Amino acid sequence: MKSLIVANWKMNPATLKEAIKLYEETKKASLAAKNVSVVVAPPAIFLRDLAAATRGAKVPLAAQNVHFENAGSYTGDISIPQVADAKAAYVIVGHAERRALGETNEEVGKKVAAVLEAKLTPIFCIGEKTRTPAGEHFVFVKEQLRAGLQHVSPAKIGKVIIAYEPVWAIGAAQPMSPRDMHEMSIFIRKAIVEKYGDLGMNITVLYGGSVDAASAPLMLRDGDVKGLLVGRASVDAKTFTELLIAASKK
Ligand code: PEP
């Protein structure tokens, strides 16, 4: 099965011209890397143009955030119907950088449900800020899972992608070890199975946090994950191409 690699461009690049160039180069790299499928999450302002930019095969697009209401007085926000109309098929929900700005577990839960309701795919981000030897991070992650999935029915749980991104490993010097990720993957699956039964066994879990071309294949091989969420390494075409090729050879 192909690994899923999500490119989170965050608030980059500065211009549409650069965004189209990076998108085209990402597409070329994703076609060359046979064992990976790629999703690009650009700033929302570029979604519609990128969807129209390429001919032939497309690299699916994700929004980086949405509001859970379909319309209303929410200055500066973007709705799910709007991102769907701009041809995004995925939505990143609950990214650590949104949570750091005040997004709550409850809001994340509403967003996950609203994205599913619109028949888009949520990439639901979880991850603790710090780790202690006492293992409190497991309690923290379990609560994020409970709240984030509280409105998700068994019929829809299979459509949720979970991206585990420990906050301390985002924008860091190195990723978490594949061994620790493996432990966390088992924990996440167990938590989902507790609520949804065997349906939880096939849940898609991604790892995110400072992945590069060297760490990507190791994480895919030993981390018990179905893919990766990549930030900084996805906004430079050469760096991301190297990562995709390395990931494809895991
Ligand atoms: C992210 O923002 O989701 C992320 C994983 O960032 P980075 O790869 O830069 O750590």
For ligand 1, the distance from its centroid to the CA atom of residue 164, given in whole angstroms, is 11
The reported pLDDT for the residue numbered 132 is 87
Residues known to be catalytic: 95, 165
From the CB of 125, is ligand 1 less than 6 Å away? no
- Let me know: does 229 contact 208? Beta carbons within 8 Å: yes
At 181, list the tokens: 């990720």
H helix runs in the chain, sequence order? 16-32, 47-53, 80-85, 96-99, 105-117, 136-148, 154-157, 178-196, 215-222, 237-248
DSSP 3-state percent helix, strand, coil across the chain (nearest 5): 45, 15, 35
For ligand 1, the distance from its centroid to the CA atom of residue 29, given in whole angstroms, is 19
What's the start-to-end Cα distance of the chain, in Å?
Answer: 12
At 200, list the tokens: 């939880």
Atom 6 of ligand 1, residue of closest alpha carbon: 231
The reported pLDDT for the residue numbered 54 is 78
pLDDT tens by residue, the chain, 250 residues: 999 999 999 999 999 999 999 999 999 999 999 999 999 999 999 999 999 997 778 899 999 999 999 999 999 999 999 999 999 999 999 999 999 999 999 999 999 999 999 999 999 999 999 998 898 999 999 999 999 999 999 999 999 999 999 999 999 999 999 999 999 999 999 999 999 999 999 999 999 999 999 999 999 999 999 999 999 999 999 999 999 999 999 7
From the CB of 100, is ligand 1 less than 6 Å away? no
From the CB of 210, is ligand 1 less than 6 Å away? yes
From the CB of 223, is ligand 1 less than 6 Å away? no
Atom 5 of ligand 1, residue of closest alpha carbon: 209
The reported pLDDT for the residue numbered 29 is 96
Task: Please tell me the pTM assigned to this model.
Answer: 0.97
The reported pLDDT for the residue numbered 238 is 98
From the CB of 171, is ligand 1 less than 6 Å away? yes
The reported pLDDT for the residue numbered 85 is 98
